[in-house]
Amino acid sequence: MLRGTRRFYEQDIDVKKPYYSRDVTRKVMYNCNFELFSEKSFAADWRDSLYSAMAPNPAKPEELPETCREIIIEYSNHVMKLGYTLVELFSKGLGLKPNHLKEMGCAEGLGILCNYYPKCPQPELALGSSRHADSDFFTVLLQDDIGGLQVLHKNQWVDVPPIHGALIINIGDILQLISNDKYKSVDHRVLANKIGPRISVASFFSTGLLESSRIYGPIEELLSKDNPPKYRATTLKDFFEYSSKKGFDNNSNLSHYKI
Ligand SMILES: O=C(O)CCC(=O)C(=O)O
Ligand SMILES: [Fe+2]
């Protein structure tokens, strides 16, 4: 998958051009700095991204770039299976029946973002990815061996060193919202680096901008007099639109939904 991503980016600009777009309703979209024109983003990020919608309404195979078409389809099939296992574990962790989150549709939507961070001549002046939490239920992240990913833990940035063959699971804002803060989304960022390119593949579990009548609020079974709902309910589309419009500004998107 990492090699497939690299193959895509290292093609001639003319081959990549047809995929270049800032229209977030497209199923396949290649761009750099997708958050650059958001309301509150501070600065451009030192990365390019290729997004592919893979579930529940996947991009047609012929819509995916030829250089990584097969591997994106194969990889996303594996990640979907892993997603179902993870939502079972997340359900159990909340003391709910194992298929609770699956029935809520938490593993129904999948978008794959292939990131390419070119080497940066002055890494002290830039970030690969600005600080953010993901606007989904959870993210399965694959990184190469360059490093640079950090998570915010007790107000300190902590390196997440690459481990060959390992996947990183990040809790996203929506899982925090429905679990009423039992699970916490993690703020993370990626440092720019003099060496590179660095490649990562983030698999986001969410239906994103798709129209859906499903509304997500804190799960009733978790609430009590001592644990009242902390957030108002929302659709995934509304949450995603709000977070995309706001951009990466160091503030949590969840505060907008706080009761
Ligand atoms: O490149 C990474 O390791 C992280 C990417 C990321 O956080 C994202 O795409 O949301
Ligand atoms: Fe992220």
133 Cα–ligand 2 center, Å? 6
Atom of ligand 1 nearest to the CA of 143: 3
Return the pLDDT at 244: 83
Percent of the chain at pLDDT exceeding 90: 84
CA-to-CA separations, 95 to 10, 99, 114, 178, in angstroms, rounded: 47, 11, 34, 14
131 Cα–ligand 2 center, Å? 8
Q: pLDDT tens digits for 85-111?
A: 999 999 999 999 999 999 999 999 999
Q: Write the residue with the smallest CA distance to atom 8 of ligand 1.
A: 202
In the structure, what pLDDT confidence band is assigned to residue 209 with cuts at 50, 70 and 90? confident
Q: pLDDT tens digits for 137-163?
A: 999 999 999 999 999 999 999 999 999
Q: Among all ligands shown, which has an atom nearest to the Cα of 51?
A: 1
Q: pLDDT tens digits for 188-201?
A: 999 999 999 999 99
Amino acid at 117: Y
149 Cα–ligand 2 center, Å? 10
Alpha helices in 64-118 (DSSP H): 69-93, 100-103
Q: Does residue 41 surpass a pLDDT of 90?
A: no
Match domain 2-257 to its CATH number in 2.60.120.330, 3.30.470.20, 3.40.50.2300, 1.10.3720.10.
2.60.120.330
Structural domain spans, the chain: 2-257
Residue to mutate (ligand 1; options 157, 200, 240, 248; most atoms within 8 A of CB): 200
Cβ–ligand 1 contact at 190 (below 6 Å): yes
Q: Which residue has the higher pLDDT, 36 or 80?
A: 80
Q: Write the residue with the smallest CA distance to atom 6 of ligand 1.
A: 202
Contact 130, 248 (CB under 8 A): yes
Q: pLDDT tens digits for 8-35?
A: 999 999 999 999 998 888 999 998 876 6
In the structure, what pLDDT confidence band is assigned to residue 39 with cuts at 50, 70 and 90? low
